[in-house]
Chains A and B, each alone.
Chain A
Amino acid sequence: MGPRNMIILFLLGFGLLLIFGVTLFSIQLSSKEKLLREAESLTFENEQLIRMIDLQIQSPNACFLPDYELTDVNGKVLYWRDFEWRDKLIFRFSNSNCMTCVKAQVPFLKKVNEELGGDKVVLLVSYDNRREMITMLKTLGLNMRAYNIKRQEFSKDNEALENLGLPYLIETGKSGQYSRVFVPIKELPKVSLQYYNRILGLIDNK
């Protein structure tokens, strides 16, 4: 057998291995497992992001948030200091986020509010005007406490998060400061479920 034939045989073998390998891999990765694998990688990515943002939260500027101006659904202008922000779950979204991404969190948020009391979830939104905000909340079926905040002002202190272009959740600690941040991805509801289960105390609160 000449070297040329050896090369041909090698290529043939390699091709066969490639096709069998891909097929075998595809069979092994059933859709459920594939989702879990994606979820794991996303959880990892989310954790990296949270770590990055945690670092930002620990910075002195973020600890002492400015006294943001807020508008409630009745048009009343209020300030950040007027509220009790301790132990809350803030759901943050704006008119630049995709509606489907926001919608995907609605059932989870409703459940959290139902089980942990009406004041647990606070919506912090940025819409051009009150009419837009109210229409959006109505469409989403969210009737929790909601405040409109000027996006540019809020973005200054939460740049890393706001630049993601995704809705996100902020947990506040006992002192009212940010304690944890989570960025839900609509394609991976299992990861979100895991997160909300932790909020509900159904899984280990680490």
Chain B
Amino acid sequence: MKIIEILSYLLVTLLCICACSNNREKKIRAIENRLSGYQDIIGIGHIKEGGIRKATDFESIKIPKGIEDSVLFLKDIIEKVRYVKLESDTSCLIGSVDKLYFSESGRIIVVDKTKAQSIFIFGSDGMFINKIHRIGRGPDEYVEMRDACFIDDREEIVLYDDRLDRCLYFTIDGEFLRSERVGFFFTNFEYIGENRFVHLQSPQVNVHKKSIENKNIVVTENCKKILASYRDYYSPFSNIHSFGNRRALVNSGQESYYTPVFSDTVFHVNMVSDVMEANYCLDFGDNGLIKSLNKNISLDEYFEILNQRNLYSFVGDNLAVGDYVFFSISKGGEMSGDCAGFFSKKTKKLFCGMGYSIDSCADVAWYSFPEAVNGDELVSIIDPALVMPTELAMRENKSYLTERSPKLSKWLNSTTDMDNPILMFYTLKKF
């Protein structure tokens, strides 16, 4: 009688599980159908679970309490500045600069995935060379460019189409090379050398491959074979899930950096050692948003606090050049840019403050914080549409605060709101 009893309980439990897991099974089957043959692409072998550790030179950068009371004078820390105006023509009109890459052969690659769904290729002098814009379902076409990146050692551009589940490869001059299927979904990716790519993925999307389902970072060989996965998606708040950082994965010259959501720590993505190293963290003290919130906070309460704009948050806007790191932070909201800092890992000195002020160097800080790295140079984007109203007002009031380079003055005087951005390259003084 006892056995029947136990068997009955087991049967009921089993039946309940079967009933509940029905939806998940359906989701898995749907993805398996869509990505049929994915096992051959991503490999059937064991996927290594990558480790995480603190780098030996890990830094905790203390953000001063009154950071917003001071102004970041970029002119104080900039050594050399040069400008490149990107050619403007109706055939090469950039909607927004989402990513910027620079090749050794002297190409400037502008990825515009949000507006033009195109990749623009310019020469080092800013002259337009070619554009990758092939919307369609043909073998060399894409329906939706989810992301794109630059393979620096092969000088190839790779574009990920998440609607047709494939990567398209192009030469540095925009000629189509090949198309390759992918076996999993991701949102962003960067090339990290030796044919390896690092991919950022959202949790519970890749349900067809359980070992990576809840991981945030995946490393592949040529966007195909999955080699390792890193860090479980984690939220410190019991009621807030499926959030992502706007700039969780950034390219900084030849290096890539990862900032998990709800974290003020920046990881250097270097997979040679199969361990992801925490490079530095921003210590906001009592002013940090994440640490100040209750774990049981609701989504509405979270946004309410965010909109009060009393606490600082960091969504991954960072770059590294030599011994220096750059970061920008905001007081509430998702957009970065209220304040920024440059930190020397060597001397531990920090230059930080409000970014946008009439007192700061109008050539540089006023318009844009750096958004890319080219060798030892940081690169800012001067967008005419953003700059022109201020420029006109300044011209009227004759209120230039710094000497302009004649070239920049000439460009700014002749530019219109329809012109492509001017790129500003600058090196930092030693501090």
Chain A positions near chain B (C-beta within 8 angstroms): 4, 8-9, 11-12, 14-16, 18-19, 22, 26, 75, 95, 99-100, 128-132, 134-136, 138-139
B416: nearest chain-A partner, CB-CB: A75
Q: 8 additional contacts, CB 8 Å, given A11-B9, A139-B118?
A: A8-B8, A18-B19, A19-B19, A26-B22, A99-B117, A100-B144, A131-B417, A135-B93
Instruction: Find A11's partner among B4, B8, B116 (CB 8 Å cutoff).
Output: B8
Known: A26-B22, A139-B95. A130 touches B385 (CB 8 A): yes
Is B115 touching A135 in the complex (CB atoms < 8 A)? yes
Smallest CB–CB gap between A122 and chain B, Å?
Answer: 21
B419: nearest chain-A partner, CB-CB: A131
Is B19 touching A128 in the complex (CB atoms < 8 A)? no
Contacts of B135 in A (CB 8 A): 139
| B12 at interface by CB-CB < 8 Å | yes
Is A19 touching B18 in the complex (CB atoms < 8 A)? yes
Is B112 touching A15 in the complex (CB atoms < 8 A)? no
Contacts of B93 in A (CB 8 A): 131, 134-135, 138
Is A18 touching B16 in the complex (CB atoms < 8 A)? yes
Docked Cα-Cα span, A73 to B95, in Å, equals 14
Instruction: Find B386's partner among A12, A129, A138 (CB 8 Å cutoff).
Output: A129
Q: List 17 A-B contacts (CB under 8 A).
A: A8-B5, A11-B8, A11-B12, A12-B11, A12-B12, A18-B15, A22-B22, A75-B417, A129-B386, A130-B418, A131-B385, A132-B115, A134-B418, A135-B93, A135-B112, A138-B93, A139-B117
Is B417 touching A139 in the complex (CB atoms < 8 A)? no
Is A135 touching B9 in the complex (CB atoms < 8 A)? no
Docked Cα-Cα span, A169 to B9, in Å, equals 55
Residue from A12, A22, A135, A136 having most chain B Cβ neighbours under 10 A: A135
B: interface residue count bin: 20 to 34
Docked Cα-Cα span, A138 to B90, in Å, equals 10
| B179 at interface by CB-CB < 8 Å | no
Is A128 touching B144 in the complex (CB atoms < 8 A)? no
Docked Cα-Cα span, A135 to B419, in Å, equals 12
Interface string of B3-41 (1 = CB under 8 A from A): 011001101100110110010000000000000000000
B118: nearest chain-A partner, CB-CB: A139
Contacts of A8 in B (CB 8 A): 4-5, 8-9
Smallest CB–CB gap between B143 and chain A, Å?
Answer: 10
| B114 at interface by CB-CB < 8 Å | yes
Instruction: Find B116's partner among A15, A130, A135 (CB 8 Å cutoff).
Output: A135
| B96 at interface by CB-CB < 8 Å | yes
Contacts of B157 in A (CB 8 A): none
Instruction: Find B95's partner among A4, A9, A136 (CB 8 Å cutoff).
Output: A136
Contacts of A134 in B (CB 8 A): 93, 418
Instruction: Find A14's partner among B12, B95, B386, B417 (CB 8 Å cutoff).
Output: B12
Is A19 touching B115 in the complex (CB atoms < 8 A)? no
The B378-431 residues at the A interface (CB cut-off 8 A) are: 383, 385-386, 417-420
Is B116 touching A138 in the complex (CB atoms < 8 A)? yes
| B172 at interface by CB-CB < 8 Å | no
Contacts of A22 in B (CB 8 A): 19, 22
Docked Cα-Cα span, A134 to B417, in Å, equals 12
Smallest CB–CB gap between A78 and chain B, Å?
Answer: 16
Contacts of B418 in A (CB 8 A): 75, 130-131, 134
Is B12 touching A139 in the complex (CB atoms < 8 A)? no
B12: nearest chain-A partner, CB-CB: A15
Residue from B8, B11, B22, B95 having most chain A Cβ neighbours under 10 A: B95
Smallest CB–CB gap between B115 and chain A, Å?
Answer: 5
Is B19 touching A132 in the complex (CB atoms < 8 A)? no
Docked Cα-Cα span, A130 to B385, in Å, equals 8
Contacts of A75 in B (CB 8 A): 417-418
B18: nearest chain-A partner, CB-CB: A19
Is A12 touching B385 in the complex (CB atoms < 8 A)? no
B93: nearest chain-A partner, CB-CB: A135
Smallest CB–CB gap between B101 and chain A, Å?
Answer: 20
| B94 at interface by CB-CB < 8 Å | yes
A19: nearest chain-B partner, CB-CB: B15
Is B8 touching A12 in the complex (CB atoms < 8 A)? yes
Smallest CB–CB gap between B300 and chain A, Å?
Answer: 13
A141: nearest chain-B partner, CB-CB: B135
Contacts of B144 in A (CB 8 A): 100
B96: nearest chain-A partner, CB-CB: A132
Docked Cα-Cα span, A19 to B18, in Å, equals 7
Docked Cα-Cα span, A16 to B12, in Å, equals 8
Smallest CB–CB gap between B111 and chain A, Å?
Answer: 13
Docked Cα-Cα span, A183 to B385, in Å, equals 31
Interface string of B104-120 (1 = CB under 8 A from A): 00000000101111100
